[in-house]
Structure 1
Amino acid sequence: DSGSNPTYYHYKTIKLWKISERDRRPEGYNLKEEDGTLRNPNSVTTLRVPILQPMDLMVEASPRRVFANAHTYHINSISINSDNETYLSADDLRINLWNLEITDRSFNIVDIKPGNMEELTEVITASEFHPYQCSTFVYSSSKGSIRLCDMRAAALCDRHCKLFEEQEDPSQRSFFSEIISSISDVKFSHSGRYMMTRDYLSVKIWDLNMEKHPVETFQVHEYLRSKLCSLYENDCIFDKFECCWNGNDGVVMTGSYNNFFRMFECGSRRDVTLEASRESSKPHMVLKPRKVCAGGKRKKDEITVDSLDFSKKILHTAWHPNDNVIAVATTNNLYIFQDKVN
């Protein structure tokens, strides 16, 4: 298979890459030798029909287009539209709409930059197109709100169609409330009926028809609530964790610290914590569920909150659209796991 994917580059520039796979190579050229050197045309007395020979699979990525000079701040999101002609890119204050064929200009669809930057109260943290409604997209903010916009309503989508926001319990209010409520990622379900948001401590599932509160909330690492002060001092509280759905929207996945990643089954209370590390992730090895001891007496296989390594974090996760194959990125390693095949 071959395809094209935009990707981040130098924080403010976008590159379109063509990704292709090759498992055969042509042999029997007429005008060049097998090592690539050109033959003298006068010495060619017979014509050969080139044939394709099997070879080891090669994956190649080649740059096709560069989209630049449209963002003042670092790009946090790229999302391809279901029309397969356009895509959006978002930074802290603006969201731009691009045509995949036009590299030198884009159309600004959201601009929250105030006239006076001292009046700035929130920034855009993530944005994504709806999976099949090509005029609809969402963007999240550092204040914990998600805005659903429709490009048919106005050229500049500064006014949202729907606002998804959960009111905070006043008894839980603290100095860190605003920081941990900032949304680091938003993802539509494949069905388009739901969306998932990730903040610092939790993953929330929203029904697009219900704006007041999420239908489900999963605590990713609630045991860190008592550690927010030290997490603030070492800047970990500003880490931006991503999240993803599995192929049938039944399970969600997101990362945590100590190279742990979490999976939650929608509609039930089932969840699991797994670890991506060289020691526990040898080929064909079954991953063992991990448990964190938040207080009281520690059991044999549990790890205490105080012994978690906050320098080891999984910020990026991805799930294959059809198969039970996942990818998780630790600080400097990429792990690919697949469901146990019986």
Structure 2
Amino acid sequence: MILSKWLQFIKPNFKFYQDGFFEFPFLANTPELMIEATIKTPGSKHDPKEQIVYRNNPFIKGTFRYRKIEDGCWLTITKLQFKQNTLIKTVYDKDIPSEHHTLTFTLYESQVKLQNKFIDNMPFHNKFWGFKKPGTEVGAYFYKGSKCEFYIYHFSPDWIKRNIPLDKLTPDLPFKKFLNSDKGFISYQDIVLNAEELSHEIEDTFKNYNTNILSETLLKSQTLSLVSTFFKNAFADLRKQNFEAKDGVDYKKIANCERLISTNLAEPFIGIEAVAKKLNLSPSKLKTDFKLVYGTSILRYNIDKKMQFAMQLLLNTDMQIKHIAQEVGYESPSKFSATFKKKFDKLPSEVRPDYSLN
């Protein structure tokens, strides 16, 4: 696609500012088109030998790396710092075939405002996986100052058929039910042990690709190992959901719901009805769609994120445990400790001894 056609296509999808966020679409029909569009985006500088695009404009700064792993499989690695509140969303040109599935591992760091007198805010490190069917439009919200890494694996139908036997899954598996439904996106939390470390190893292979004669072989083995581990664990996930619901999912609104949760961890949860009103959805629709996408209820997701944030406060500050409990919305340190133990199978005092619970 030439630049003029790309700009002509993007223009009607581009909403410069809406609901406090700058909205930026990117073409996602094929990995090649996504790469070409990124290279031609204003403010980008391309190094074709290293297969990297340096990006710097009034809204984002970072790098975009890309590699063809083998026929039918591409990997793009994007690392960004957001200069403004930004919504990134996929869009598709209906005149171009869209056959690729994508698997995305996302790492992002956002700032959570604390009540502590000595610490104004703390970074919260979040991670999740998302599997997307061809042609599914999704969106993700990022606040100014957020730092994000996106590892996106692009699979053609032939590659999936050769490497991931989706056709052999039994019909009663939730993942198979998802594949057979009209739902286009599903998400998982921490489903691959050491995914962050393994992804950074793959990034190192990208960086050293032209200096290591084994880079091509190494990259293929690293990619297949990580991807196959994801699918193995996703197939074993037994979430109970009704993928046959007729109504479509507004993935951008569900992403906005997740943002409202993960950026307000130090505040009491405002309630499903209040969130639904903000998103202009009915509470029942919000609860159903959120569970379809994230595999858990909104209330459970909120608790899990609060406990993950509490763990980060335990490991990275010297705050007393009773104060950490208050920071994640628990007036009772004992109730906080019980919830923490249920999540991590250990008490906060076992993570970092602190006897100031009372």
After TM superposition, the score normalised by the length of structure 2 is 0.27
User: Structure 1 or 2: larger helix share?
Assistant: 2
Structure number with larger C-alpha Rg = 1
User: Structure 1 or 2: larger strand share?
Assistant: 1
Using CA pairs below 8 Å that are at least 6 residues apart, which structure has the higher relative contact order?
A: 2
After TM superposition, the score normalised by the length of structure 1 is 0.28
